[in-house]
Amino acid sequence: MGDLSPSYAKGGDIVSISAAYATPVEYRRVVGMTDAGLDAEIEADLRAVSRYIDGEMRRHFTRDATPTVRVYVPTEATRLLMVDDLSAAPTQIRIDTSGNGTFATTLQAADFELLPQNAPNLPEPWPFTQVRLTSWGRLGVFPANQRVEVTARFGWPQVPQAIQRATIQIAALLRLETPRATKRIGEMNENVETSYQAQNIVRQLTNQYRVWLV
């Protein structure tokens, strides 16, 4: 991938949460443009489409540049803790077992495993979404109503190709730079709602990548 913005790294790893899921160079390659004069405008549209996809899928497909801290509170004692997308194994998991804010219990590698197993090693890498305490570890369950602090690079190992392509396709519809586009519409929601092609793209993504609320 050439001529990438500073938010991009090798292998499709986007480390800025505000970055677009495709570059103007990639966009122009798909739609058959050679003039780079409109790249700033294209970049803005790609960013808008990317954030729209984030909202529809209820997750983002970038990943943190460095480990960050998030806190979870299970409502009942459980071995299985649902977490936000993890692009790789956490650097640290601590539990406030006494409820005084000290996070005195630090999990060791043998204390937990990440699910789905092998997620980053699949043909299309996926994130981990659950932390499960092992039966052979030191802690039987995550205590109910006690905070769990997870330090990790949250997000996806890399942007899925389908997400990148969808970003380009919806942007092309928005910009009237595809034969499938029929009219220029300024608002993103209106653009998707009135475009059968865009709706179909979102539906296809939803089937595989959306976080479904239960």
Using CB atoms within 10 Å of the CB of residue 121, give its burial: 0 to 12 exposed, 13 to 18 middle, 19+ buried.
exposed
Q: In the beta sheet, which residues pair with residue 105?
A: 95
Q: Using 50, 70 and 90 to split pLDDT, how confident is the model at 212?
A: confident
User: What is residue 68's predicted lDDT score, i.e. its pLDDT?
Assistant: 95
Distance CA 198, CA 169 (A): 8
Distance CA 36, CA 25 (A): 8
The CATH code belonging to domain 11-62+159-209 is: 1.10.3230
> For residue 96, is pLDDT > 50?
yes
Mean pLDDT rounded to a whole number for the chain: 85
Torsional sign, CA 138, 142, 145, 146: positive
Residue 15, helix vs strand vs coil: coil
pTM above 0.85, yes or no: no
Residues 97-110: tens digit of each pLDDT: 888 889 999 999 99
User: What is residue 206's predicted lDDT score, i.e. its pLDDT?
Assistant: 85
Closest CA to 197 of 186, 177, 211, 181: 181
User: What is residue 7's predicted lDDT score, i.e. its pLDDT?
Assistant: 40
The DSSP code sequence of 18-33 is: TS-SS-HHHHHHHHT-
Distance CA 81, CA 58 (A): 19
User: What is residue 201's predicted lDDT score, i.e. its pLDDT?
Assistant: 85
User: What is residue 204's predicted lDDT score, i.e. its pLDDT?
Assistant: 85
- Domain ranges in the chain are 11-62+159-209, 68-152
> For residue 11, is pLDDT > 50?
no
